[in-house]
Structure 1
Amino acid sequence: MIRDYFRIMMVNLTTGKTTIVELPGRGDYLGGAGLAAHLFDKYGHVDRDWDDPEQPLIFAIGPLTGYFPLMSKTCCAFRSPYHNQYTESYAGGKSALSLRFADLDALVVTGRAKRLTALCVGSRRVETRDVEYLRGFDAIHTGRVLRKMFPGSGRRSILRIGPAGENLSSYACINVDTFRHFGRMGGGTAMGAKNLKGICILGDRGFGLPEGKEYPKLYKEIFKQLTTTEMMAKYHGLGTAVNINPLNELKSLPWKNLQQTSSPEADGISGETFADDTLLRNAACAGCPVGCIHVGFVREQFQTNNQYLYRQVGYDYEPIFSCGGMLEVTDASDVLRILDVIEKEGLDCMSAGVALAWATEALEKGVVSTEETVLDLKWGDAETYMKAVELISRPPNEFYALIAKGTMRCAERYGGQDFACVLGQEMAGYATGEVFFVSEGLGFRHSHLDSGGYAYDQKHEDKDVKRALDFLVQDGRERIVLNCMVGCLFSRGVYKDDLLAEAMASVGYGELHGSVAEIGARVQKLRWRLRLRMGYRPDKVRIPKRYTEITTWKGPLDTDYMEALRAGYAARILEMGAPVDEPGDKEDD
């Protein structure tokens, strides 16, 4: 094997101490999601809250990072401020390849700096800088400062937070290289709690490629599959924004806080409209030949003259659904303008958009008044929504302080729980039906990417509970394997278990403790164990009433079927998370 252990950099912001740890377990956990869970199991604290300084913030890559195309993501793991339990988030950009070139499998940050700090790490360098003067700076401006502060080559990755992370909004994100994000569950908040404004990862070393004919031959085969299939062409072309019109036709597009599942005005924010009217360029994560990042532009006129300022804003389906359809904003440029403010403040765009949709309906129904919302929120009013985003990031009153902690937290205080579109966290953009709602509502990350529940709904009219549950568990396990490699999930149609095992062997990682599928199941159980030990009760989860009121292409939602799925999936989760002897497990605290 190339290296049968993980090389971990441990940085303690309280003491200023940095250590390199060589941790066994490559054959047990692969890397990525498996390594992150293993590290949290070893260094995390089940009996302390998310904001305890000694809780670790983990960035982990996989064994194939830098060796094969689309192995381009980093897993960020932490105890979430959203629900105070273990979670993960994923981002592309240059972070993964920078860690590989820094000769690290993971970076683990603990402690809390006395003042706002920026951290720079590489194979030959660890440095912290006092950046208290950056407090309140938006994420885009912060990125510019950090790039000047820590000069480097194209192997450098810049991670940073905006004011939302500093102010501990529960869904603050980590901006990665401007157009990518550790978006969901509050990674930016975890950084803010550590007084950590930014991280620069310097890829300041090289790494060798395997010798012999096997590796280059396999690389060429995989590269061909990933760049010649129609699936990947879709991601480069219109990107995931292409989903707007098909989901609208299927009556599966969340619209106006899910009061509707389709709209005749959806074409105004379709992928085709964005491409025709706003698309500036495509970009790609390091190590990816596809180029799925779509960058649009917004134009702002200066008040003093007739000159304009143009800004670049990344977009894909999820930002369009949350800041377009959910708010009934039907102009593509207006959607980008809202997203531009969200980017600067450093919020997760899905949570921010869905939270504002709930607030608009709550105001409309009289659940709250303008005394709470400050602004007169109205469907389609982009200017007001832009101002409201800043209030979520910098709360002026109790209402915004609560909504910054999560929509349901605010609804529990003021009312309106029935129409809060929350499935563990603010929903993703697929009103496809019962399987997806249960999958996201009870899922490990409460993410549409925990499994393909949204696709299952679109392909199956039957209501076979066991078949659907088997799919959720099996598909989830397959995705975990790719998350251990930390590959882009767009490539899951190519990187099946057998090919991943072959790729591992070609770079010298053939000696695994079980098959790739067995390791995936091991990691799946470990992740659930961690959440359950921190208080997660899937059997207590309830799905808000709004989800029982929708109609999709299959007709009205079947509440009996959804309840059977909910109870069955909760039981499966409890079974997967039952205590077992795992390599390296700690005793319960």
Structure 2
Amino acid sequence: MPQIIPTFLHLNLADQNFEVKSYEEFVPKVGGLGWALSIYEKFIDDDPIVFAIGPLSGIFPGASKTIAVFKSPQTGGLTTSLAGGHLARFLRFAGYQGVLITGKAPTPVLVSVDEETADFGDATPLLSLEVPKIFEQIFSSEGIPGRRSVVVTGPAAELGFTYAPLYLDEFFSFPRGGLGRAFAQKNLKGFVVSGTKGEFVENERRYNEVFLSLIKSLKGYRELSQLGTLRNLTVEKKISGVPFENLRESNFESDELAAPQFLRGIFGKRVSCGGCPVGCIHLLRFGDKYTFYDYEGVVSLGPLLGLTKQEDVGQLLARAWGLGLDPTSAGAVLSYLTEKEKLAFGNLETYRDLLTALVTSNEEWALQLRSGLPDEEQALTVGGMEFLPYFNGYASILSQILRLGATTEENCGFILDLDLLQKEISAKAVVNQLVLAQEKKTLSELLIGCGYLANVYEDPGVAFGALGATGSSISHEQLLAAAKSIFRHKLMLQKRLGFEPLDVKIPEKFFRIPTPAGFLQKDKLREMIKIYVHDVYEQAN
């Protein structure tokens, strides 16, 4: 298995043709985020959408993520989004390290990729269908069963919701930032990738040693496997870091939404991303239908709305998924409406009706909320994106302000806050520790390992050993330098697309409710932003 030269499939939607091209000059970028940012910058004037996998994707356990880089319809800035499913594996089996999408199709299209061919088909019959129905239709007609990955938008993306996600392989998604809407703006309903290619392993003994070592390491994630990311709720409740009723409070009494209770309640089954033995993707069940749930979805459509019963939260999760709405964003929108219109928190029927009205109503209030939350007192929005429901302290808020992580998988701040509890620490130290954590995470995003397996794929020794088993000649020092360089490359592109951290407005609510670390001080948070801009952001630019 020689050093990988990244090969990308370029889909030109305007002309409805495709090209396969390798980029030898991007080999030093290692993979994943490094390749994606480089391709994005190369085609930046074409408003590209870029998907990339990494050198370990599809051949090592837990290296199952695909990263997307695009200009967010919601914020107008550079955005990254991660998804699991089977896309990374079948992109590799089709012979690609990524996909580049440019142009706008004259009519809605679904692109079917079968290794060396790409067919641009009519997607009109899929329009307006709810997400589960779209997968049902495509699974019956496109790709090779058992050897394909399917990526689609939902109905909310077609209707102009700037925070509509992109859905993948029935139970997965690229959340936050509006990748689904970015597809819809290009008249791209989705694509299907099929692949059956294999690769020769030069040093099979070394490869097997590393493979088995990784399997052993991943057995240490038993709790994540059993409870999913909803396990975080127990910790967040214990420290009073859960936003309740649009952040009127930072905790609630009921334990019914805790992960162990879900297992005894409406839990249906768990599934894995392709090639990952952990199986941390948990699904709830209503009848014969399954819907994904995780920490941010449950909290955003539960406690944030004053709902604490499994059945209620499960119904909203299933409804949001079907309509094609990001649950974290949808929860923040519903909690905003509840407070602004002086509705009662905790009323399931109200929220079911509001979700439907958001998608079906042509009234001005509903149309305006398709573009996200307004800049108003009741809105939990940070830099144009809805609040990630961790209220742990400075770092969890700061990382969102700086656009360093919009999901549990990407956000290093909420974990850093846990480490800093009961500690006195300067503003500069918080910034430095957050940046160091983000650089470590960047290493995983190059490979591209799952962000929930931080102790594995953020470990330079593990990364170096796995790369060596593939035949890579990159040194340990080069690998660490690449992670730092690519993190700064991301900041450079953020700046190029107009992001200015000092201009981000911070909701006043954040300073009125105590976090586990006490009340946040506005001046201290602003000082952190200034330090970051001066010491990190401007230096990268």
Q: 1:512 to 1:202 in 2, by over 3 A?
A: farther
Equivalent runs, 1:403-422 vs 2, <5 Å: 403-407=369-373, 410=374, 412=375, 417-422=376-381
Q: Which residue of 1 aligns with 2:440?
A: 478
Counterpart residue number, 1:556:
519
Q: Shift of residue 379 of structure 1?
A: 1.3
Question: In the alignment, which of 533, 538, 541 is matched to residue 575 of structure 1?
Answer: 538
CA 268–567 in structure 1, closer or farther in 2 if over 3 Å, else same: same
- In structure 2, the residue corresponding to 1:556 is in which secondary structure? coil
Is 1:379 the counterpart of 2:352? The answer is: no
Change (3 A) 1:423 1:67: same
Amino acid of the residue matched to residue 90 of structure 1? Answer: L
Q: CA deviation at 1:122?
A: 2.5
The code of the aligned residue for 1:129 comes to: G
1:427 aligns with 2:387: yes
Asked if structure 2 preserves the Cα contact closer than 8 Å seen for 1:169 and 1:404, the reply is yes
Cα pair distance change 1:22/1:273, threshold 3 Å: same
Shift of 1:109: 1.5
The 1:450–1:93 alpha-carbon spacing in structure 2 relative to 1, beyond 3 Å, is closer
Confirm or deny that 1:283 pairs with 2:271: yes
The answer as to whether partners of 2:70 and 2:80 remain within 8 angstroms in 1 is yes
The residue that corresponds to 2:489 in the other structure is 526
- Matched with 2:258 is 270
- d(CA) in 1 for partners of 2:160 and 2:476? 41
Q: Residue deviations 1:183-225, cap 9 Å, x none? A: 1100000110111112111123222334342221121112101
TM normalised by structure 1 equals: 0.88
| Aligned position for 2:283 | 295
For residues 402 and 210 of structure 1, the distance between their equivalents in structure 2, rounded to whole angstroms, comes to 57
More displaced, 391-400 or 329-338?
Answer: 391-400
Distance 2:223 2:467 in 1: 28
Could you list the per-position Cα deviations for residues 15-53 of structure 1 after superposition, in whole angstroms to 9, with x for gaps in the alignment? 1121111112444211111111001100122xxxxxxxx
Where 1:431 maps in the other structure, the secondary structure is: coil
Query: Contact (CA 8 Å) 2:405, 2:412: kept in 1 or not?
Result: no
Deviates more, 1:112-121 or 1:549-558: 549-558
Equivalent residue letter for 1:566? I
Structure-1 separation of matches of 2:197 and 2:73: 35
Equivalent position SS for 2:234: helix
Aligned residue for 1:252? 241
Q: CA deviation at 1:514?
A: 5.4
Letter in 2 for 1:499: V
Q: Which SS does the other structure have where 1:20 is aligned?
A: strand
Q: For structure 1, which segment, 535-544 or 281-290, has the greater mean C-alpha deviation from structure 2 after superposition?
A: 535-544
1:83-232 equivalences in 2 (<5 Å): 83-227=75-219, 229=220, 232=221
Of the three residues 299, 303, 307, the one matched with 1:329 is: 307
CA shift in 2, pair 1:448/1:187, >3 Å? same
Give the partner amino acid of 2:297. Answer: P
How do 1:328-407 residues align onto structure 2 when only pairs under 5 Å count?
A: 328-364=306-342, 377-407=343-373
What letter is aligned with 2:267? L
Deviation of 1:448 after TM superposition, in Å, equals 4.7
Deviation at 1:60, TM superposition (A): 0.7
Number of residue-to-residue matches in the alignment: 537
Structure 2, unaligned stretches of length 5 or more?
A: none
Amino acid at match of 2:359: S
The one-letter code sitting in structure 1 at the alignment partner of 2:485 is R
| Partner SS for 2:285 | strand
Matching of residue 21 in structure 1 with residue 9 in structure 2: no
With over 3 angstroms needed to count, the CA separation of the structure-2 counterparts of 1:539 and 1:337, relative to structure 1, is same
Q: Offset of 1:512 from its aligned partner?
A: 5.9
- Change in 2 beyond 3 A, CA 1:193/1:445: farther
Other-structure match for 1:234: 223
Q: Is the CA contact 2:4–2:55 (under 8 Å) kept in the aligned structure 1?
A: no
Q: Distance in 1 between matches of 2:98 and 2:201?
A: 20
> Which secondary structure does the structure 2 equivalent of 1:198 belong to?
strand
Instruction: Evaluate the alpha carbon distance shift between residue 546 and residue 93 of structure 1 in structure 2; reply closer, same or farther with a 3 A threshold.
Output: same
Assess if the C-alpha contact under 8 Å between 1:4 and 1:25 holds in 2.
Answer: no
Residue 121 of structure 1 and its aligned partner are, at CA, apart by 0.9
RMSD, matched Cα = 1.7
Give the Å deviation of 1:421. Answer: 1.2
Partner SS state of residue 96, structure 2: coil
| Contact 1:442 1:570 (8 Å CA) reproduced | no
Instruction: For residue 164 of structure 1, give the secondary structure of its aligned residue in structure 2.
Output: helix
User: For the structure 1 residues 25 and 40, does the alpha-carbon distance in structure 2 shift closer, same or farther, using more than 3 Å as the test?
Assistant: same
The separation in 2 between residues aligned to 1:288 and 1:133, in whole angstroms, is 34
Task: State the one-letter code of the partner of 2:128.
Answer: G
Contact in 2 for aligned 1:87/1:444 (Cα 8 Å): no
**CA spacing shift, 1:451–1:132, aligned 2, 3 Å:** closer
The letter for the 1-side match of 2:207 is: Y
Select between 324-333 and 108-117 the one with higher mean Cα deviation. 108-117
Give the distance between the partners of 2:499 and 2:90, measured in 1 at CA.
Answer: 34
Judge which range, 491-500 or 33-42, deviates more. Answer: 491-500
CA distance in 2: counterparts of 1:7 and 1:261, whole angstroms: 48
What does the per-residue CA deviation read over 1:449-504, in whole Å, with 9 as the maximum and x for residues that have no partner?
44421122122221322221111111111111111112101211122012201211
What letter corresponds to residue 491 of structure 1 in structure 2?
L
Shift of the alpha carbon at 1:237?
A: 1.0
* 1:500 corresponds to 2:488: no
User: TM-score when scaled to structure 2?
Assistant: 0.96
Residue in structure 2 matched with residue 41 of structure 1 by the alignment: 41
How far apart are the structure 2 equivalents of 1:234 and 1:511?
A: 34
Give the deviation of 1:226 after TM superposition. Answer: 1.2
The percent identity for this pair of structures is 27
Partner of 1:452: 412
- Residue of structure 2 aligned with 1:315, choices 287, 293, 296: 293
Could you say which residue in structure 2 is the equivalent of 1:48? none
Shift of 1:125: 2.5
CA distance in 1, matches of 2:39, 2:13: 18
Residue pair 2:6, 2:27 contacting (<8 A) in 1 also? no
Change (3 A) 1:419 1:567: farther
CA positional deviation for 1:120: 0.7
The 8 Å contact of residues 440 and 448 in structure 1, kept in 2 or not, is answered as no
Q: 1:57 aligns with which of 31, 39, 49?
A: 49
CA distance in 2, matches of 1:390, 1:55: 32
